[in-house]
Amino acid sequence: GAGVSQSPRYKVAKRGQDVALRCDPISGHVSLFWYQQALGQGPEFLTYFQNEAQLDKSGLPSDRFFAERPEGSVSTLKIQRTQQEDSAVYLCASSSVARTDTQYFGPGTRLTVL
Amino acid sequence: AQKVTQAQTEISVVEKEDVTLDCVYETRDTTYYLFWYKQPPSGELVFLIRRNSFDEQNEISGRYSWNFQKSTSSFNFTITASQVVDSAVYFCALSEAGNFGNEKLTFGTGTRLTIIP
């Protein structure tokens, strides 16, 4: 079956603009994660959904970051008033309902803020 | 808090050589999970292996093998007879069995492996 997909793959934004990044998880996967990967670093956790419920948003760096998954499938990560430090690759992962099951990652969205 | 350390930032070996990537982790939990992911130049993280803290048996999958030692909190990854296609950044990650039903991954900083033809 299809893997995790993300769009757009690349996004260039001017400082101060709002952006929306989309994630389509593997069909039937209950859990969905967002991670941020800065250049040369490992991914860092942002937020976690179980179905439509956002159970953990402890990794969101500021209140400019907002994520939603209204129907328990597709998720959107929104960044308001983008700053240069928001430039990174944003990765989405999904996994089945099993506790600590393997997370499968999408190709990521590379965000560049000018 | 959990932590993963990959001390080797970059490694280069000649094709067909064996190479070992080190991973050391820290956690206070007795139940946890360890992972290795591969990130080729395309950028997508590719799952390689998952081990739980109760299973210390080493695992071999083709040219890949993993050595899990709880006594030293290490989960090292060896590639035998390396190939150019093995060139990538490799990440070790740790997950604790927490209360949310599915726990976040904590990643190391990665090791960039270059296989020289």
Residues B4 and B107: beta-carbon distance below 8 Å: yes
Is the CB of residue A112 less than 8 Å away from at least one CB of chain B? no
Which two structure tokens, joined as six digits, stand for B38?
Answer: 């591969």
pLDDT in tens, B84-116: 999 999 999 999 766 665 678 999 999 999 999
Residues B35 and B14: beta-carbon distance below 8 Å: no
pLDDT in tens, B2-38: 899 999 999 999 999 999 999 999 998 888 999 999 9
Residues A47 and A33: beta-carbon distance below 8 Å: yes
Chain A nearest CA to B81, separation (Å): 26
Residue A87: partners with Cβ closer than 8 Å, 6 or more residues away: A111, A112, A113
**Hey, is B86 helix, strand or coil?**
helix
Q: Is the CB of A56 less than 8 angstroms away from the CB of B91?
A: no
Residues linked to residue B61 through DSSP beta bridges, in sequence order: B64
Query: B57 vs A113, which has greater pLDDT?
Result: A113
Tell me the chain B residues in contact with residue A97 when contact means C-beta distances shorter than 8 Å: 101-102
